[in-house]
């Protein structure tokens, strides 16, 4: 079945760029019915949608983060990636990637999540 797996550094220094990759297995990222999204969850808090991308490269971002976020896709590797610039301690969170239904806008399945801590 479809599986997603996040990868990337678990520790990022303040003011630097957070970079994560999500690898999709068990299915193709070139799905006409789905976006591929990133969601984050600060420790002990709720969920925040960061943005989503279609395999063609069309992307949608949360306006609260749009000035710092870039999501890209690599169809050859069946991966999509997240870059978040100028991070602060407030960006410390578990970052999840997930398949995003294009019509219904729900997320399923999700990756297991990866904790990224922003600290010097």
Partner 1 sequence: DIQMTQSPSSVSASVGDRVTITCRASQGISSWLAWYQQKPGKAPKLLIYAASSLQSGVPSRFSGSESGTDFTLTVSSLQPEDFATYFCQQTKSFPLTFGGGTKVEV
Q: Residue written as tokens 């960006």?
A: 91
Residue count, binding to partner 1 (CB under 8 A):
21
The full length of the chain comes to: 120
CA distance 98 to 34: 10
Residues whose CB falls within 8 Å of the CB of residue 86, separated by 6 or more in sequence, listed in order: 15, 17, 68
Query: Closest approach of Cβ 22 to partner 1, in Å?
Result: 12
DSSP conformation letters of 50-80: EEEE-TTS-EEE-TTTTTTEEEEEETTTTEE
Cα 94–Cα 49–Cα 79 angle in degrees, nearest 5: 70
Residue 76 or 103: the one with the smaller Cβ distance to partner 1 is: 103
Residue 49 or 55: the one with the smaller Cβ distance to partner 1 is: 49
117 binds partner 1 (CB under 8 A): no
110 binds partner 1 (CB under 8 A): yes
Query: Closest approach of Cβ 105 to partner 1, in Å?
Result: 4
Residue 19 or 60: the one with the smaller Cβ distance to partner 1 is: 60
49 binds partner 1 (CB under 8 A): yes
Judged by the rule CB under 8 A, the positions of this chain that interact with partner 1 are: 46-49, 60, 62-64, 96, 98, 101, 104-113
């Amino acid at each position: 079945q479809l599986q997603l797996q996040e990868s990337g550094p678990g520790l990022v220094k303040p003011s630097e760029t957070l970079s994560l990759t999500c690898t999709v297995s068990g299915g193709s990222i070139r799905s006409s019915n789905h976006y591929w999204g990133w969601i984050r969850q600060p420790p002990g808090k709720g969920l925040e949608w960061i943005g989503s991308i279609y395999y063609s490269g069309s992307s949608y971002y949360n306006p609260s983060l749009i000035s710092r976020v870039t999501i890209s896709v690599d169809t050859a590797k069946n991966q999509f990636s997240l870059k978040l610039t100028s991070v602060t301690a407030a960006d410390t969170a578990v970052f999840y990637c997930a398949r995003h239904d294009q019509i219904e806008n729900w997320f399923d399945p999700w990756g297991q999540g990866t904790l990224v801590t922003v600290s010097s």
